[in-house]
Amino acid sequence: DTPGIRGINFKPDGTRMYITNRESAPNDKKAYLIEYSLTTPFDISTATISFTGGTPKGTPLTCAPEGVGQMNYPHSIEFNSDGTRMFVTTNEGIGSFSFGVWQFKLTTPWDSTSLVCEKIYEIDIDDAEGEDQVRTLAFKPDGTRMFVGGRDLDKLRQYDLATPFDLRSGVTPGGVSADLSSIETNMRNIQFNPDGTQLFLSGNERDVGRMNKINLSTAYDITTLSSTAETFDLGSRANN
């Protein structure tokens, strides 16, 4: 079902799982979303695919309102709290758009077959100091702040949203973290703990198969990240 897994997320009750998938050759960069139902919450051994349309299986990630076709190279996937909006990062531009974050509306909450693209929010290359790719993505729970990270510069960036979970207007670039290369490089994923005082960061160049926990002195403000981290070795349970 998933020749090129890129990102994963769950419905809060654990009964659905979502995977961003990159198609295999010859179209090995086209983006799909695959949705699974879990008969036992958060137990992936009980997962069955919910939608078998598309080639490969899943929903193609396209954005007709912005005048472009199918996304290339999807990465992280995040939802708002009620499942009516979904956000996916991409590390390759399409049409006149550079890389960035794609915003989708779900006309039926948590149902990926009801996706409608609303906005492609470009990450300004100059503002990002020449970052080559956008991969990581997270939101403050109230939707008023978005966090992204890339492959090359080993920094996180935060953006303030005037309207929660809506990138269509009122997005203001905010702070930039310190260089995190002493902790991790080639970022792949970030997550916060529930109160925003800890950040979990993974990558794939320093030591494959590890997770880093970094403290924040001010909740959900990546400019206050500690310069040190607690590292957890995932061993054979994870690889590149």
- Residue 94 per-residue DSSP state: B
pTM for the full predicted model: 0.90
pLDDT digits (tens, 9 = 90+) for 105-123: 999 999 998 999 999 998 8
β-bridge mates for residue 49, sequence order: 36
Query: What's the one-letter identity of residue 33?
Result: L
Q: Is the pLDDT of residue 170 over 80?
A: yes
State the residue for tokens 């990630």: 61
Task: For the chain, give the number of residues.
Answer: 240
More confident residue, 165 or 187: 165
Given a cut of 80, whether residue 133 has pLDDT beyond it is: no
**Six-digit token pair at 206?**
């320093």
Read off the pLDDT of residues 76-99 as tens digits, 9 standing for 90 and up.
999 999 999 999 998 887 877 878
**Can you read off the two tokens belonging to residue 61?**
């990630």
Q: Which long-range contacts (CB under 8 A, 24 or more apart) does 101-104 make?
A: 101/134, 101/137, 101/146, 101/148, 101/167, 102/61, 102/63, 102/71, 103/166, 103/167, 103/168, 104/61
Question: Which pair of tokens denotes residue 200?
Answer: 């979990």
Structure-derived torsion over alpha carbons of residues 45, 47, 53, 55, reported in degrees to the nearest 10: -20
End-to-end CA distance of the chain: 19
Structure-token pair, residue 101: 């974050």
What's the mean pLDDT in 123-144?
79
For 56-82, how does the pLDDT look when each residue is reduced to its tens digit (9 = 90+)?
A: 578 889 999 898 988 988 999 999 999
Question: Which residue spans within the chain are E strands per DSSP?
Answer: 5-10, 16-22, 31-38, 47-49, 59-60, 62-63, 68-70, 74-79, 85-90, 100-106, 115-122, 134-139, 145-150, 156-161, 171-176, 187-192, 198-203, 210-215, 230-233
Cβ-Cβ contacts under 8 Å for 126 (sequence gap 6 or more):
none
pLDDT number for residue 67: 87
Residues 28/73, Cβ–Cβ less than 8 Å: no
Q: Is residue 201 a contact partner of residue 222, using CB atoms and an 8 Å limit?
A: no
HSE-CB of 189 using CA atoms within 13 angstroms: 18
Tens-digit pLDDT profile for residues 181-190: 888 888 889 9
pLDDT top residue among 69 and 167: 167
pLDDT for the residue numbered 121: 93
